[in-house]
Amino acid sequence: MFSGLGRFVVRRPWWIILAWVVVAGAVISLAPKLTSSSDEASFLPGHYESIRAAEVQEKEFPKQQNVGAIIVFERSDGEKLTAADSADVDRVSKDLQAKKIPEVQAVVPGEVSPNKLVKTSVIAMPRLTDPEDTSQQDAVKQLRSDLGPELKGTDLSAGITGTAAQALDESDASERAGLLVGVGTIVIIIALLLVIFRSPIIALLPVVLIGLISPMATGLIASANKAFDMKADSSIQELLTVVLFGVGTDYILFLLFRYREALRAGEDPKSGMVHAVERVGEAITSAAGAVIVAFAALTLSSLGMLRSMGPALAIAVFVTLLAGLTLVPAVVSLLGTKVFWPSKSWQREPHGTGFARLGTSIARKPAVWAIVSAVFMGALALGAFGYKANFDLAGSSLPKDKESMVAMEDLQRGFPAGTTDPTSVYLSSTTDAPVTERQADAFRERLADVRGVGEVAAPRLSPDRTTASYSVILSDPPASDKALSTLKDRLRPAAHEDAPDGSRALVGGTTAVYVDINKAVDRDYSVVFPVAAIAIMVILGLLLRSLVAPWYLMLSVALGFGATLGATSLLFQQLGSQPGLMFMLPVIMYLFVVALGTDYNILMVSRLREEAREGRDPHDAAGTAVRHSGPTIGSAGVILAGTFATLMLAGNSTLSQMGFSLSFGILIAAFIMATVFTPALTALIGHAAWWPGHGDERRNGGGAPPPGAEEERVGGVTGRR
């Protein structure tokens, strides 16, 4: 199959290239824009309590003013506020409201804090129902612009924080992050390919080819999102850039290394490319299949952000695979050996390389290498027991010098940390009888008695008096562990239990959303992880015709995942100052490390099988496989890890965690898991590794070279030297 595909591509390269250009142009011109959202609530299913509470608000209090943002006032000299300062705050608030800024329903000055250091003005805005609507961010931008002149002549300084302000600051930071990630990815790929091949043509090849398919993949994803009404997480664009360039460069490397082997064996450029596609086609197709299946498993998630991320990344990998099997061979077949210009190293195989020495050592002492690599990964995996989830994707990912973050710190000098984002509690009658004022007031007192609750505002009754609304300010920041614990363990149970007969209580708001996300993620761990693992094992079993190999290959991947999570937890939580890791990081890490790590395992074990079919015993097969495939896997791993590491350039803690964990996981997968643990364990297990298919048996008369003949098999071709 792949031999026929290789011949077809090599014979008609211009037709292949033209077809790609035409299809890419059509997709790009017709596809809608890819949009994303950072509103966690928009990703939760409707049966969660926080979403049902939001529905009650929309139905019973459609005109309720939400706290969109908060202006935090304090004296410039840090002293206590005076009566004159308080009057200035009232005047500034009145002037800002008089400007009639769109989306600003009211600017309401509040009370001075008990310690007289802070006074706030609440900016009331309508509830945001469309995550793609940036009008409230525009309103905050206008308010910030108008606030400065209003403060002239006073002793006050002020900043704006709150949900809309954080969203604005996150949007600004994301634009910078996207640019840095895009530029950094390209620079790293070019630099590393120049070092590996010493050829500017190869260095630019992935950038040019993937630059063509990247907007095409983005267009297909945007079309799929629109067709199936899916939402994309705010980090999807950066992830797409890294996946397309990282995985695409990997597949190009797999092909080029095998192409170079065929040329060194004496093949002409055309037949060498056919052999390269034939030999590497099954491996990269199986590897891409494992990645696609792992990403597709995310569709089983209960969180919309993961459910939409899975198909998006699966589409990106599928397009990259098609390009790796058709577009790349077509272009390289036209260039021939000029693709390596000006380097001449492609003409001869270097001897005594590090991978050759490693392969020899593994062949001699596979047990030692298997134990050492397993202990190394296992020791790092112990750090995973310290993992904590962080649910504040907006606040925790922002640089500390952003205005919303600075104003938040100022606010907490005088008020409970939950002031910026109160929790909403709704007491609704389950009969036609109204909620009486006595019932509403008594329920408020019960809420106020809950430990961890700072303040409870007086209840507001709906027009038909069947629902009472309470604004509850928690004592801790809305996304903190303490706030989540307060709501989950005390506030929600108290609200449910103390609701009067004939009524029910629902607790909503941002903190409630985080609690529900936590519940959803726990459910996803128990579903997505096993399904992805089983699917990948099935692919491995079909590829290798073995029931044994998939088990220890997945064991190696599990060790790699544990080591990655452990190292990330140690770096960011124990050594760093992060309250936790992004809540969905283990899912993303699992899928990337498992799926992409399986890429390298497939490449290595496919080569192990080839060497065994040539008549080598398990130990020699392992040593030879490491010698030949080690450089390919190592180079691919370094480049892919480098592209993921560019996420750390964003100045965003969420992307930094993602960048480090994925790049570290890929390095573990490439240099420890696939290059050491897998071949060493395969050598130890021997022929039993291929049971019951016996895929290591000699095929088509293959066998050990005849005595006296000095031969070297490269690229699947036997050539006499």
- 100 in the same domain as 74: yes
Share of the chain above pLDDT 70, in %: 87
> What local confidence, expressed as pLDDT, does residue 428 receive?
93
Q: Where are the extended beta strands (E) located within 103-240?
A: 106-112, 119-125, 156-161
Q: What is the pLDDT of residue 699?
A: 55
Residues 455 and 531 in one domain: no
Mean pLDDT rounded to a whole number for the chain? 83
What span, in angstroms and rounded, lies between the C-alpha atoms of 541 and 550?
A: 6
Cα gap 182→241, rounded to integer Å: 7
pLDDT confidence bin for 284, thresholds 50/70/90: confident
- The pLDDT tens digits for 586-625 are 887 876 777 777 778 888 888 888 888 888 889 999 999 9
CA-nearest of 401, 379, 466, 457 to 424 is 457
In this predicted structure, which of 73-77, 98-102, 284-288, 649-653 has the lowest mean pLDDT? 649-653
Digit-coded pLDDT (tens) for 395-450: 556 667 788 888 888 888 888 777 778 899 999 999 878 999 899 999 999 999 99
At residue 34, the pLDDT reads: 66
Query: Is the pLDDT assigned to residue 671 strictly greater than 90?
Result: yes
3-state SS, 562-607, equals HHHHHHHHHHHHHHCCCCCEECCHHHHHHHHHHHHHHHHHHHHHHH
Neighbours of 102 (CB within 10 A): 10
Q: pLDDT band for 140, please (50, 70, 90 cuts).
A: very high
Same-domain pairing of 382 and 272:
yes
Q: What is the CATH number of the domain that holds 124?
A: 3.30.70.1320
Q: What's the pLDDT score for residue 403? A: 86
161-197 per-position pLDDT tens digit: 887 888 888 777 666 666 666 677 778 878 888 888 8
Is residue 708 a part of any domain in this protein? no
Position 710 pLDDT exceeds 50: no
Give the Cα separation of 282 and 111 in Å (integer).
70
Decide if pLDDT at 301 tops 90. Answer: no
Task: State which of 161, 184, 202 marks the end of a domain.
Answer: 161
Mark whether 85 and 229 lie in a shared domain: no
What is the percentage of the chain residues whose pLDDT exceeds 90?
Answer: 28
Query: Would you call 612 helix, strand, or coil by DSSP?
Result: helix
What is the model's pLDDT at position 378? 94
Whether 589 is covered by a domain: the verdict is yes
pLDDT at residue 65 tops 80:
no
Query: Do residue 64 and residue 194 come from a single domain?
Result: no
- Reported as a pLDDT band with limits 50, 70 and 90, residue 94 is very high
Of residues 519, 34, 535, the one with CA closest to residue 302 = 519
pLDDT greater than 90 at residue 708: no
Q: Is the pLDDT of residue 720 over 50?
A: no
310 lies in some domain = yes
pLDDT tens sequence across 504-522: 999 998 899 889 988 888 8
Question: What does the pLDDT average to over 134-154?
Answer: 91
The 10 Å CB-count burial string (b at 16+, else e) for 130-149 is ebeeeebbebbbbbbeebee
The token pair at 283 is 């491996």
Of the pLDDT bands very low, low, confident and very high (cuts 50, 70, 90), residue 717 is very low
Shared domain for 227 and 116, answered yes or no, is no
Contacts of 186 (CB under 8 A, 6+ apart): 207, 245
| Higher pLDDT, residue 332 or 242 | 332
Question: Are 224 and 131 part of one and the same domain?
Answer: no
Same domain, 499 and 544: no
Q: Which helix (H) or strand (E) holds 176?
A: helix 163-197
Question: Does residue 707 form part of some domain?
Answer: no
Tally the domains of the chain.
3
Which of 161, 185, 201 corresponds to the end of one domain? 161
Q: What is the pLDDT of residue 697?
A: 65
Q: What mean pLDDT comes out for the span 704-719?
A: 36
Mark whether 259 and 238 lie in a shared domain. yes
The reply to whether 381 falls in a domain is yes
- What type of residue is 59? K
Is the residue at 13 inside a domain? no
Place of tokens 């290059």: 675
In a domain, 36, yes or no: no
Confidence of residue 486 (pLDDT cuts 50, 70, 90): very high
CB 121 within 8 A of CB 108: yes
Which stretch of 351-355, 631-635, 703-707 has the lowest confidence by average pLDDT?
703-707
User: How much is the pLDDT for 150?
Assistant: 92
Q: What is the pLDDT of residues 15-56, one digit of tens each?
A: 999 999 898 888 888 877 765 555 555 567 788 999 999 889
Which of 126-130, 513-517, 652-656 bottoms out in mean pLDDT, i.e. has the lowest? 126-130
Q: Which pLDDT does position 712 carry in this prediction?
A: 37
370 and 245 in a common domain: yes
- The residue with tokens 């612009």 is 145
Residue type at position 338: K
Average pLDDT (708-719) is: 36
- Clarify whether residues 381 and 440 are in a common domain: no
**Does the pLDDT of residue 703 top 50, yes or no?**
no
Residues 6+ apart with CB under 8 A from 699: 613
Give the pLDDT confidence score for residue 175 in this predicted structure: 64
Q: Which domain holds residue 623?
A: 169-394+515-696
Q: What is the pLDDT of residue 16?
A: 92
The pLDDT of residue 399 is 67
Are 301 and 226 found together in one domain? yes
